[in-house]
Amino acid sequence: MARMVRKQVYITNEQQALLKRRAKALGVPEAEVVRRGIELAGQPGAAFRPDPKAWQELKKDMEKRGKLKVPQTGRTWTREDLYEERLERFSRR
């Protein structure tokens, strides 16, 4: 077994609550959750961490844009019409 080194870290109240919930859900000590997090941080792609606030802002903007009235281009078909036509065409094969 690897030699353990004691570390003291400071975390926010929110992080503490999350740590406690995660440890309880996994049935392991909080220190084990921290060790697993360190291991995960060393894996490729670990640097990507989505920002929940940014996603919420993007979602609000998308919903806002979805409600905009856009002038029609004069087309006579809808997306559903295309899907139906393709389904009919490929189901005959």
- Yes or no: say if 22 and 33 are a contact pair by the CB < 8 Å rule: yes
Question: Rounded to whole angstroms, how far apart are CA atoms 86 and 66?
Answer: 26
Domain extents for the chain? 1-68
- Yes or no: say if 19 and 28 are a contact pair by the CB < 8 Å rule: no
Q: In the prediction, which pLDDT does 61 show?
A: 95
pLDDT at 76 over 90: no
The tokens 């109240």 sit on which residue? 13
Q: What is the pLDDT of residues 12-70, one digit of tens each?
A: 999 999 999 999 999 999 999 999 999 888 888 777 777 889 999 999 999 999 888 88
The two structure tokens encoding residue 26: 């996994």
* pTM given for the model: 0.49
Question: Rounded to whole angstroms, how far apart are CA atoms 35 and 31?
Answer: 6
